[in-house]
Structure 1
Amino acid sequence: MSQRFFTQTSQDLVYLDANATTPVLPRIADVVSHTMRVCFGNPSSSHITGVQAKYLLEQTRAKARQVIGAKQGDILFTSGATEGIQTAVVSTLLAKRHLATSNSVLLYGATEHKAVPNTLKHWNDVLGLGAQVLAIPVDENGLLDEQFIAEHVGRALMICTMAVNNETGVYQNLQQLEQVIREHNKDVSWMVDCVQALGKQALALSDTTIDYAPFSGHKLYAPKGIGFLYIRENSPYTPFIAGGGQESGMRSGTENLPGIAGLYELFDLLLDKTSDVFKPVETLHGYRQQLITALENTFGDITFNAPLSGTVPTTLNFCVNSLTSKEVMDLFDAAGIRVSGGSACSSGASRSFVLDAMNASDWQSENAIRMSFGPAATEQDIALACERICALKPVLANNCLIVSDAAQPEHEVCALGLTQLRHQGSCCWLYVAPNNDAVIIDPVVELVPRLVRLVSQQQLHVKAVLETHKHQDKDSARALLSTRLSLADNGDELGWPGAPISLGAQTLARIATPGHSADSHSYVLRHGEHVTACFCGDLFIFSGLGSTQFEDADTVQMAESIRTLAATLSDDSVICPAHDYEQCFALTWSAQLQATPLVQQLLNEQVSDQEFVAQKAKMDEQLITDCGALCGFSLVAKQENAQQLTVEQVQQMLEDEQHPTMVLDVREPYEHGAKDIRSLFNVNDGQLLNVPLSRLANAFFSHQLSPQTRYVLICRTGNRSGQAINNLKSLGFDNVYNLQGGLALV
């Protein structure tokens, strides 16, 4: 029997990403299954089985009219909203191409789902219309600029807006928009994306002049692959899919009858006034308030990215003011809570174009979290979600991710040793001695709140806040952090107090290492005469060199600085640069040399200073054209993918007494704390180690890992563990393996 792809039961899951998709309701799933097995006829067949299928299809169409208030016009079954959008756009542009001039425009809302502008641009180009595709601006509340519409709609071939935004839940005043549109252009084709409105807002499309309205089943508890399109009477129409003439010649291809049957049951539930499956708006507002209370109690300082009064009650778009969206999502995922960062269709993007259009701050756009539930959510669903969210508060406090309200909080995670804190490639390093003496090097503005919490809650004694040089790509955060920590500023412009800093048994000294810039310095941490770590700024980038393209850079000085450090460092000295563009996380001096042949050649006197300068200039030119990183570049070759192991193979390794094996969890401690993975493997405490990527440097600094041990690395999806494996391989670890698909597929 083939293995079924089941990863987690619904009882283990708190699903709060309904705007991306919804589970199929059991009643709907039963109808779909019944149709597949019993009412499987082809609606185009003339025998009784086909006639029965045709009857089901037409009854569903009739119910769709009732649900969306469409007494007139056509209801066309589609594969989903994207096909409906394509059909509406193609129908309009083909019908109006003879009207297109160089002055014509195609209008769409700036916060519209990407399917809309991309479709407009595609068919505008394919049909050679030459129209200008214009985004209608929105205000800070996400509402369309009606003045802009009034100015441009007169020369528009088509205007596309949406009823409810999929990221923020903001709804538009369609009556008001209609008044503006028709006052200035009675004939323009108007499409309204109604995907997120179904089941959440009352619709009466026949009472409007909306020409097209696409809908999608999977956004409201029906299967994927089925949707429908409303087409107003006498609006332009051209079949997007031609062929056998199904759907009265409007859309060819055998109809998806099981999906249509699922819509029938969905419509039945929406129309049944006695059913309590779909909750009234007042109840949904109550649900949302419960979630807001849980979020505020757990995270504290939260910004909501859209006004609650102007959004549907099933959507919350927010950011935690001191945590990145990745941190929040990883934490939620570890706790079995599913949310998304902005739109599921744009999850690869680094920021939200919707929030950018609303003129939100960079922090909001880059760290937005969307939490959404469906109108069929139950009181028990929301109560469980709130319980899971509130249960995260001690995990956050123990990991210094929030300010603890406990009198004497006991932190499960301590910052002793080396910690790398990253923001968009920039690295800040925190070193804490066993006696809690600490130093912070190259702080980043965005990380200041995190650092302040760490210092306060772990009662660190910060001896200095230092910079390796005045960074060209970011504002200095040294003065801000020193002020927030109430530190006296007795140092020079880089924070150096003028004498070595005692940090427990180690001492931090400074060495002038100009080259990347005239003021560049490196800080070396010594235990006796042995250098345990070197904070080298941008003299080195992991597996590469810092840039010498700046006005005060000097490549000859860089060569001399490299020789100076080489005479100081040991093979196992941990290199701590100010940037980590390649997500290398940790390297020793010997691994750094192995990855940078030009440096080896310089130190072995195989190239002169002049030859070093010439080769470095070529590398800098390549940096400009290939990389885009401002301060340096990596020369490290891409590693081959690590061997992927199944859970069964991991278990076999753990039981092999002849070859010691460790499970190395590279998730952050707050994820590790939120989800105990020992239940997934028969593993004892001595075989489980949590070393997050931010602490990989410390693992080498403290000799926590051994190349002789086998390690199976795990994370949420296998991506971070894959990055860590590349790092470990560059440091001579050959027996490292990845859990296939990470915890997501266990």
Structure 2
Amino acid sequence: VEGVASRDIMDVFDACQIRVSSGSACSSKVTKSFVLDAMGLEEWRSGSAIRLSFGPATRQEEINEACVRIQQAADALRNSCLIVADTNNDNDAQLDGVVQLKYDDHCCYLIIDREAREIAVVDPHPALAGRIENIVSCQHYRVKAVVCSAADSVMSQSIELLLPILIPSQSIDEYDVFGWPKTATGLCDVAPVECEDSVIGCISIGERRLFRVGTRNPVYVLSESATLKALVHSDFLFTGAEASPQTYESFMSENTLICPGRDPEHHLVYTPCELSGDCRVDDGVNIPIGDTDEFWHRKDLVIVDVRERQEHVLTDLPCCAEVINVPLTEVAQFIHSNPHLRERDIICLCRSGNRSQVVANVLKRHGFNSRHLLGGLALLGAPAA
């Protein structure tokens, strides 16, 4: 499926109870097919392929049912903007605020104002260009900027690739090497109190402002709603991969969320105290499979389903608690928008327990009382309603 990674296809197939693989049986945890690579096919085919296995015990009824469920999976992918479609039932229409996309350990950020239908892109990667273009096309967003924090070959390639596609009405000469609009350099209507003297320009995304700080390997600061002469703060800091903490620690408040340029350890988003080493986090975020009865029937819990929306909509969770769908891509914005949930007991869950463990750990580091379902929904089976 061109433009859709095998992992995304497998996740939504799994939500439909279809068991498939992205490669040969001897290639556990490999994200692409070396067999298709050896056949000389285009790279996107091996990275977007699914292997379905048949055997002598496979019955026609199972094949017929699988076809029905594959169609459901395709509809869910279309509705998520992973596949462009003419549809009004679009899961990605719910995106608002800071969205993190990843390619390997590279982090790209979309800053979306859903009401204003505007978007800015920070640190895109060429491999994510199709996904970004799909989101913009599906939602008919006006792209305010495509910027990067370093002028290396990968970033330059991303800017040269995306700017003509996402902002075709403007010439690439109207931007500097970081993709920053030359017209955005100068005075802003507001500036964060933490870095007011260091701001060299800003871009509006709805009522938010994206500020550029620094000229060489710049960092970007995002405020929430800003109005003329209002007091705004550094709510999000996009550091890129090159800047050292010493160059931006003076731009932060204690509530600033730090969005890294690279994230090999899946921390997703950092707190200022983590830079100084002053954070203390309790262990014990796991909930064994045998201890699930209590939270299926507790109304005071918050259950955070961290699967992607196209998975979430395919599976009902028979529980009494409040359920919130928070994919990994939206964790940073969730933390910023829901400080009141720090007082609630939170259970994170996903298909296998891998993603939910990541999110539970992230929330715990940011002061939430979070645990996760060890082994995930795949091992749990269907709980009693």
Could you tell me the TM-score, scaled by structure 1's length? 0.44
Measure how far apart 1:447 and its partner are.
1.0
Cα distance between partner residues in 2 of 1:661 and 1:706? 10
Q: What amino acid is aligned across from residue 497 of structure 1 in structure 2?
A: P
In structure 1, the residue matched to 2:179 is 495
CA RMSD, aligned part only?
2.5
Q: Which has the larger radius of gyration?
A: 1
User: Is the contact between residue 7 and residue 31 of structure 2 (CA under 8 Å) also seen in structure 1?
Assistant: no
Cα shift readout 1:423-479 (whole Å, capped 9, x = no counterpart): 111111000123122100111111111111111111211111111112366662112
Q: What amino acid is aligned across from residue 502 of structure 1 in structure 2?
A: S
SS at match of 2:13: helix
**Are 1:706 and 2:341 matched, yes or no?**
yes
Equivalences for 1:449-598 in 2 at 5 Å? 449-471=130-152, 476-487=157-168, 488=170, 489=172, 490-498=174-182, 499=184, 500-512=202-214, 519-527=216-224, 528-539=231-242, 559=246, 561=247, 565-594=248-277
Cα shift readout 1:118-142 (whole Å, capped 9, x = no counterpart): xxxxxxxxxxxxxxxxxxxxxxxxx
Residue of 38, 42, 58 corresponding to 1:357: 38
User: Is the contact between residue 298 and residue 320 of structure 2 (CA under 8 Å) also seen in structure 1?
Assistant: no
Cα distance between partner residues in 2 of 1:422 and 1:392? 22
User: Is the contact between residue 522 and residue 535 of structure 1 (CA under 8 Å) also seen in structure 2?
Assistant: yes
Cα distance between partner residues in 2 of 1:650 and 1:501? 47
User: Is the contact between residue 654 and residue 661 of structure 1 (CA under 8 Å) also seen in structure 2?
Assistant: no
Cα distance between partner residues in 2 of 1:393 and 1:379? 21
In structure 2, the residue matched to 1:42 is none
Equivalences for 1:113-512 in 2 at 5 Å? 320-406=1-87, 409-413=88-92, 414-433=94-113, 434-471=115-152, 476-487=157-168, 488=170, 489=172, 490-498=174-182, 499=184, 500-512=202-214
**Are 1:673 and 2:297 matched, yes or no?**
no
Distance 1:707 1:467, change over 3 A: same
Distance 1:331 1:345, change over 3 A: same
Cα shift readout 1:129-157 (whole Å, capped 9, x = no counterpart): xxxxxxxxxxxxxxxxxxxxxxxxxxxxx
SS at match of 1:338: coil
SS at match of 1:510: strand
Bigger RCO of structures 1 and 2 (CA < 8 A, at least 6 apart) = 2
Measure how far apart 1:392 and its partner are.
2.4
Q: What amino acid is aligned across from residue 373 of structure 2 in structure 1?
A: L
Cα distance between partner residues in 2 of 1:638 and 1:435? 38
Cα distance between partner residues in 2 of 1:344 and 1:704? 44
Q: What amino acid is aligned across from residue 661 of structure 1 in structure 2?
A: L
SS at match of 2:152: coil
In structure 2, the residue matched to 1:744 is 378
Cα distance between partner residues in 2 of 1:705 and 1:432? 23
Q: What amino acid is aligned across from residue 161 of structure 2 in structure 1?
A: L
SS at match of 1:674: coil
Cα distance between partner residues in 2 of 1:673 and 1:467? 34
Q: How many residues align?
A: 351
User: Is the contact between residue 512 and residue 521 of structure 1 (CA under 8 Å) also seen in structure 2?
Assistant: yes
Measure how far apart 1:523 and its partner are.
1.0
In structure 1, the residue matched to 2:189 is none
Distance 1:472 1:588, change over 3 A: farther
Distance 1:595 1:697, change over 3 A: farther
SS at match of 1:707: helix
SS at match of 2:77: helix
Cα distance between partner residues in 2 of 1:708 and 1:356? 50
In structure 1, the residue matched to 2:196 is none
Equivalences for 1:75-114 in 2 at 5 Å? none
User: Is the contact between residue 584 and residue 727 of structure 1 (CA under 8 Å) also seen in structure 2?
Assistant: yes
SS at match of 1:580: coil
Measure how far apart 1:411 and its partner are.
1.8
Unaligned runs of 5+ in 1: 1-319, 514-518, 546-557, 597-636
In structure 2, the residue matched to 1:692 is 327
Measure how far apart 1:356 and its partner are.
3.5
Distance 1:352 1:640, change over 3 A: farther
Distance 1:338 1:424, change over 3 A: same
Residue of 327, 330, 353 corresponding to 1:718: 353
Cα distance between partner residues in 2 of 1:324 and 1:720? 17
Residue of 645, 648, 652 corresponding to 2:288: 645
Cα shift readout 1:63-101 (whole Å, capped 9, x = no counterpart): xxxxxxxxxxxxxxxxxxxxxxxxxxxxxxxxxxxxxxx
User: Is the contact between residue 641 and residue 722 of structure 1 (CA under 8 Å) also seen in structure 2?
Assistant: no
Measure how far apart 1:368 and its partner are.
3.1
Q: What amino acid is aligned across from residue 133 of structure 2 in structure 1?
A: V
SS at match of 1:381: helix
Q: What amino acid is aligned across from residue 178 of structure 2 in structure 1?
A: L
Cα distance between partner residues in 2 of 1:457 and 1:350? 26
SS at match of 2:235: strand
SS at match of 1:370: coil
Distance 1:440 1:650, change over 3 A: same
Q: What amino acid is aligned across from residue 593 of structure 1 in structure 2?
A: S
Measure how far apart 1:584 and its partner are.
1.1
Residue of 677, 683, 702 corresponding to 2:320: 683
Cα distance between partner residues in 2 of 1:383 and 1:705? 47
User: Is the contact between residue 145 and residue 179 of structure 2 (CA under 8 Å) also seen in structure 1?
Assistant: yes
Cα shift readout 1:579-602 (whole Å, capped 9, x = no counterpart): 111111122333443379xxxxxx
Cα distance between partner residues in 1 of 2:123 and 2:329? 15
Residue of 367, 371, 383 corresponding to 1:732: 367
Cα shift readout 1:298-346 (whole Å, capped 9, x = no counterpart): xxxxxxxxxxxxxxxxxxxxxx211111111011000111111212222
User: Is the contact between residue 538 and residue 578 of structure 1 (CA under 8 Å) also seen in structure 2?
Assistant: yes
Distance 1:641 1:521, change over 3 A: same
Cα distance between partner residues in 1 of 2:276 and 2:102? 23
